[in-house]
A and B are shown apart, each in its own frame.
Chain A
Amino acid sequence: NAGVTQTPKFQVLKTGQSMTLQCAQDMNHEYMSWYRQDPGMGLRLIHYSVGAGITDQGEVPNGYNVSRSTTEDFPLRLLSAAPSQTSVYFCASSYSTVNTGELFFGEGSRLTVL
């Protein structure tokens, strides 16, 4: 049981480039989400999904795109990277609603945009 797996762990982009952060979970969790963690701030929700085919915006969705074609995978796409998107990104999943279920986090993807 690998839990929540994120790739890549590190990435450097130039302004304007696009890329996809991958997230996969093998726990058959319905709920998946993406957060970003910046110094001096709490984790902030970017997008989330309550099941395959269903996605919704979180607190800071601008500049990011998601899709959920399978229960296992929830990729995060940066459409045109900006220096403000330099951050550590965490994918998290939960068996049920995030209100009641324990949230399991991946190990993070550190992104630097030059």
Chain B
Amino acid sequence: KNQVEQSPQSLIILEGKNCTLQCNYTVSPFSNLRWYKQDTGRGPVSLTIMTFSENTKSNGRYTATLDADTKQSSLHITASQLSDSASYICVVSEGGNEKLTFGTGTRLTIIP
């Protein structure tokens, strides 16, 4: 069964610090991997979409990496801000069909 596992489940860091969130997947065949940010009470918003050939992709202070060989991805947040407090969801797209597999998310809390 295709799975997407994220770690840690939750994380608390001080404002201004960096952090890295992890995503491991078993989805095959692989099409692309996405990171979404979901604020409390809101819908998920796309941060990045990475295909098989992309190792790194940045969106402002967010940088995603992908290792398709080990089936791992990470999301690095630089110089965190209070507005970064949210759940971050890793999503993997299965090649050849319309199926997305969602991780359960990492709940990130930034404290002043």
Interface residues, chain A, CB within 8 Å of chain B?
4, 31, 40-45, 48, 50, 90, 92, 97-100, 102-108
Q: Distance (Å) between the CB of A19 and the closest chain B CB?
A: 20
- Are A45 and B46 in touch, CB under 8 angstroms? no
The residue of chain B having its C-beta at the shortest distance from the C-beta of A38 within the complex is B104
- Are B98 and A108 in touch, CB under 8 angstroms? no
- Are B93 and A99 in touch, CB under 8 angstroms? yes
Please report whether the interface of chain B is mostly helix, strand, loop or mixed according to DSSP: strand
Alpha-carbon separation in the docked complex, A1 to B66 (Å): 33
Alpha-carbon separation in the docked complex, A103 to B34 (Å): 10
- Are B104 and A40 in touch, CB under 8 angstroms? yes
- Are A102 and B93 in touch, CB under 8 angstroms? no
Q: Distance (Å) between the CB of A50 and the closest chain B CB?
A: 7
Q: What number of B residues sit within 8 Å (CB to CB) of A?
A: 24
CB contact under 8 A between A99 and B98, given known A105-B44, A105-B45, A106-B43: yes
- Are B103 and A42 in touch, CB under 8 angstroms? yes
CB contact under 8 A between A97 and B98, given known A40-B104, A41-B104: yes
- Are B46 and A103 in touch, CB under 8 angstroms? yes
Alpha-carbon separation in the docked complex, A79 to B104 (Å): 28
- Are B32 and A99 in touch, CB under 8 angstroms? yes
Alpha-carbon separation in the docked complex, A103 to B99 (Å): 12
Determine if B72 is an interface residue (Cβ-Cβ < 8 Å).
no
Alpha-carbon separation in the docked complex, A43 to B46 (Å): 14
- Are B98 and A102 in touch, CB under 8 angstroms? no
Question: Closest 6 A-B residue pairs measured CB to CB?
Answer: A42-B102, A105-B43, A43-B102, A99-B31, A98-B98, A105-B44
The A-contacting residues of B in range 86-112, CB under 8 angstroms, are: 89, 93-95, 97-105
